[in-house]
Amino acid sequence: RRPLLSRCLQERACSPRGAAARKLPGMNTALAALMLVVVPCIAQRAMVIDDWPYRSYDCSKLAAAPTIDGDPSDWVAGESVLWTETFIDIERDKRPLPRFKTRAAMAWDDAHFYIAAEMEEPHLWGTLTRHDNILHHQNNFEVFIDPDGDGAMYHEVQINILNTIFDLLLVKAYRNGGPARHGWHVEGLESAVKLDGTPNDPADTDEGWSVEIAIPWAALKETAGAQCPPLAGDTRRVNF
């Protein structure tokens, strides 16, 4: 999926056309890379950071915490919190477009970083139910959070259709020798999934599934290397 930039808003939002500020109401093969930037405006645009082109995404600060039930429609709507563009392969034009649509959305408040995703999936499938099962052996959704953007001490959260969580801390990237700390956990994490179809039934065709994740800033604070929660104008790196 494609690199993006996301930005956090101070309880207000403006559309790309400049809407007035206001308080806010309470197996896919694509990969996405994002940057989280804390600013008072919603927009998606191309940026270049360290010679890598990221798409921008402005991340709104919510006035009220959303209900984490797998359905993000209560906070991802209208001009306040926008869906990202549809994800493409991480190698971009070198690869064909993914067969199935995936998109994400983000928001925050002083307690949590909120992530939502919607994924088309004609055959919902998953069997892993134990915390810290290696979920990427099956279809799942993955979030990588590197608040200071240095490629070290970054956080990974995986979730499958059964709402099983695999969370870990990467001391440094696998390509640089790792290691991964599987014993590290996002304390206080909340998550939920909503299925539009019948799981593990190859006889029918499903529509897809959605995910909501609430990550406490307190769980990231010691390893983030950056302000948690962020301040308006801050930049944070997030990959999907």
pLDDT at 220 over 60: yes
pLDDT tens per residue across span 31-41 = 444 555 443 33
Instruction: Indicate the SS3 state at residue 121.
Output: coil
Q: How confident is the model at residue 53 (pLDDT cuts 50, 70, 90)?
A: low
Q: So what's the pLDDT on residue 195?
A: 98
Beta strands in 109-164 (DSSP E): 112-120, 141-146, 152-159
- Which secondary structure element, helix H or strand E, spans residue 222, and what is its range? helix 217-224
Lowest-confidence range among 17-21, 104-108, 110-114, 131-135?
17-21
Q: So what's the pLDDT on residue 23?
A: 30
Q: Are 200 and 224 in contact (CB under 8 A)?
A: no
Q: So what's the pLDDT on residue 20?
A: 25
**Chain centre distance of CA 219:** 16
Higher-pLDDT residue of 117 and 46 is 117
- What tokens appear for 74 in the block? 């209560």
Q: Are 79 and 42 in contact (CB under 8 A)?
A: yes
Q: So what's the pLDDT on residue 176?
A: 86
Say which residues have a Cβ less than 8 Å from residue 106's Cβ, sequence separation at least 6.
6, 34, 36, 57, 59, 81, 113, 114, 115, 116, 238
Cβ atoms within 10 Å, residue 84: 21
Mean pLDDT across the chain: 80
pLDDT tens per residue across span 116-151 = 999 999 999 999 999 999 999 999 999 999 888 888
Of 15, 190, 215, 1, the residue nearest 103 (C-alpha): 1
- What tokens appear for 11 in the block? 């309880």
Residue keyed to tokens 């308006």: 232
Mean pLDDT within 162-166: 98
Mean pLDDT within 8-23: 31
Residue keyed to tokens 């950056």: 226
pTM over 0.85? The answer is no
